[in-house]
Amino acid sequence: MGKNENNNFQDIQNFAKRETLAFAKEHQGEDTTRLLLSASRYPSIDMHAAVQQIEGLRVAHEKWPSLLQYNEFLYPPKLNREQSSSEATAEHKAHLADELCGDKAFVTVADLTGGMGIDSIMFAQRGKIIHPQNTQVHTHVDYVERDAGLCSLMEHNRQVLGLENITVNNCDCIDWLSTDNRHYDIIYIDPARRSSAGRKVSAFEDCEPNILEHMPLLCSHCRWLIVKASPMIDLSLAQRQLGEVAEVHIVSVKGECKEVLFVCGCHEGEIVVHCIVKGHGEFYDIDFTQSQEAEAVPSFASEVEDYLYEPSPSLMKGGCYNSLCRWFGIKKLARNTHLYTDNRYHEDFPGRVFQVMQPLTLNAKEAKRAIPEGKAHVVVRNYPVAANELQKKLGLREGGELFVIATTLGQRRLGWLCKMV
């Protein structure tokens, strides 16, 4: 932990001492580097463990808020925290498991790449999350992880959370499946997307494990296989590589694409793409097929009207462009400009909505006149200059409530001064 950070945690009880946990909670707001340097002042405290806990608590406020109520929950090292699902995305997977299994009261799940365990925790709480009034709904989760330290943490944390329906298995997931005859309703796998040199990767064949080599084994042990992929994954290529893809779920949280999930299993008909949009209290699940999108005829604008609409990253990643015109009655600015306009405000639009204040000639003189405080966010869509370059050219600093949107309307490259609704 800190400079000695590791995942071994042989002495889990020492790591979880109440005195250390209480110290971490009491010193959440302090500089962790200074705490490490002053460790000699606190001889009864495992300072590296306390700092790891402090850093975990800080992340939890944004990423796993429900865990904050459990004072003895232990957080793993930084890399494992970074690689972990957020509570919002893990909760979506619990809903997905419920949808895939229909009315089945008892569902079995294997989380083959357990890590910090947030996905296992949410799968295990499926009944509490989705069916709080139905005590007959149960889920059993096999958490599988080859790192012994993470398994020790998970065993501790599942007890802290009171989750008796999670079994911790310390082993390699492929070896474990190869020697296990059990069949699951759902297998979930999130291959590690880092090379041996620590470089981030996205293609399945570069991840660990390489699931393309093990698809027959994985599919033979479950009814549904859920594969988590990088948000950078090529959707068309991935679908061809995986084979029996029934659904694709693209999850964005607070304006950022976080996860792409491929649901594999026997099915009839086209692949259904679900664009999941989660924000501050809002939730959208917009689904379509490629043929529906191909058959949709877009409407094109001749001018920018009172509002500009920017689709959620989920919709843009999924390629849902033409259908939006039909669903919301909005008009596209150009075939390759993924911005839309309308005179009406559509409160339920899944993405950002901007109110147009005035057109803006994109030079420093006009920017200074229209934005005297010199602060604005710059957004470019189908425009030949990057946002940071344009911001510099206009002499603007990042921040404030105003937005400069530079894009292409038909064949014309134009700019507008806007504010977000």
User: pLDDT at position 131, please?
Assistant: 79
Residue 312 and residue 390: Cα distance in Å, rounded?
23
pLDDT in tens, 29-79: 999 999 999 999 999 898 999 999 999 999 999 999 999 999 999 999 999
Looking at the fold, whether 92 and 77 belong to one and the same domain comes out as: no
pLDDT on residue 360: 97
Q: Is pLDDT of 359 > 80?
A: yes
> Given 236, 270, 288, which residue is the final one in a domain?
288
* Same-domain pairing of 108 and 185: yes
User: Residue 223's pLDDT is what?
Assistant: 96
Cα dihedral 158/159/161/166 (nearest 10)? 40
C-alpha 9: how far from its chain's center? 28
59 Ramachandran zone, left/alpha/beta (phi>0; psi -120 to 50): alpha
The answer to whether residue 362 scores a pLDDT higher than 50 is yes
Structure tokens that stand for 292 in this block = 């529906």
276 and 326 housed in the same domain: no
What CATH number corresponds to the domain at position 254? 3.40.50.150
Same domain? 282 vs 320: no
Same domain, residue pair 74 and 133:
no
Q: Kindly state the average pLDDT of the residues 360-364.
A: 96
Domain hosting residue 254, numbered range: 84-288
Q: What are phi and psi of 148, to 5 degrees?
A: -65, -35
Q: Tell which residue, 155, 165, 125, has the closest CA to residue 16.
A: 155
Do 273 and 314 have their domain in common? no
Average pLDDT along the chain:
92
Please tell me whether residues 59 and 93 are part of one structural domain.
Answer: no
pLDDT at res. 9:
52
Among 288, 317, 335, residue at a domain's last position: 288
Distance CA 64, CA 405 (A): 34
Q: What is the predicted pLDDT for the residue at 14?
A: 66
Are residues 193 and 324 part of one domain? no
- Counted domains in the chain: 3
Backbone angles phi, psi at 323, to 5 degrees: -65, -30
Share of the chain above pLDDT 90, in %: 83
Q: What's the CATH code of the domain at 307?
A: 3.30.2130
Same domain for 246 and 145, yes or no, is: yes
pLDDT digits 0-9 by tens, 162-181: 999 999 999 999 999 999 88
Q: What pLDDT shows up at residue 89?
A: 96
* Tens digits of residue pLDDT in 96-111: 999 999 888 899 999 9
β-strand pairing of 184-189 with 106-111: parallel
Percent of the chain with pLDDT over 70: 96
Q: Within this chain, do residues 280 and 302 fall inside the same structural domain, yes or no?
A: no
Whole-number pLDDT of residue 11: 64
Asked if residue 4 has pLDDT above 50, the reply is: no
- Same-domain check for residues 204 and 90: yes
Instruction: Give the residue from 53, 82, 111 where a domain finishes.
Output: 82
Q: What pLDDT, on a 0 to 100 scale, did the predictor assign at position 2?
A: 39
Report residue 212 as tokens: 């393309």
Q: What is the pLDDT of residue 196?
A: 67
Express each pLDDT in 259-279 by its tens digit: 999 999 988 899 999 999 998
279 and 165 co-located in one domain: yes
